[in-house]
């Protein structure tokens, strides 16, 4: 399951001109990677969840936050 999510993260990165650099952290639901942009300076994070259930749960949370008009939380931007 984890190996599949890592491959999915690589595929996503490739489609968005990103390159996985290192693993930033992990948990029971997934792994977070640091990615560098291949076309301009900068880094971002990619979260690779191990199962569709975990993705759908997280997506639904972000949709509820968006509906409520919440764009930041404790000083951090909420992904749109």
- pLDDT band for 5, please (50, 70, 90 cuts): confident
Q: How confident is the model at residue 1 (pLDDT cuts 50, 70, 90)?
A: low
- What domains lie within the chain, and their CATH numbers? 2-73 (3.30.200)
Give the mean pLDDT of 51-74.
Answer: 94
Q: In 3-state terms, what secondary structure has residue 26?
A: strand
Distance CA 66, CA 1 (A): 30
Look at residue 79 in the predicted model and tell me its pLDDT.
80
pLDDT digits (tens, 9 = 90+) for 10-36: 999 999 999 999 999 999 999 999 999
């Amino acid at each position: 399951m984890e190996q599949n999510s890592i491959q999915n993260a690589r595929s996503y990165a490739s489609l968005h001109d990103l390159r996985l650099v290192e693993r930033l952290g992990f948990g029971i639901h997934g792994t977070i990677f640091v990615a560098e942009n291949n076309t301009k300076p900068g880094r971002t994070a990619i979260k690779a969840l191990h199962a569709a259930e975990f993705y759908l749960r997280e997506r639904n949370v972000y949709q509820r936050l968006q509906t409520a008009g919440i764009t930041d939380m404790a000083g951090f931007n909420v992904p749109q």
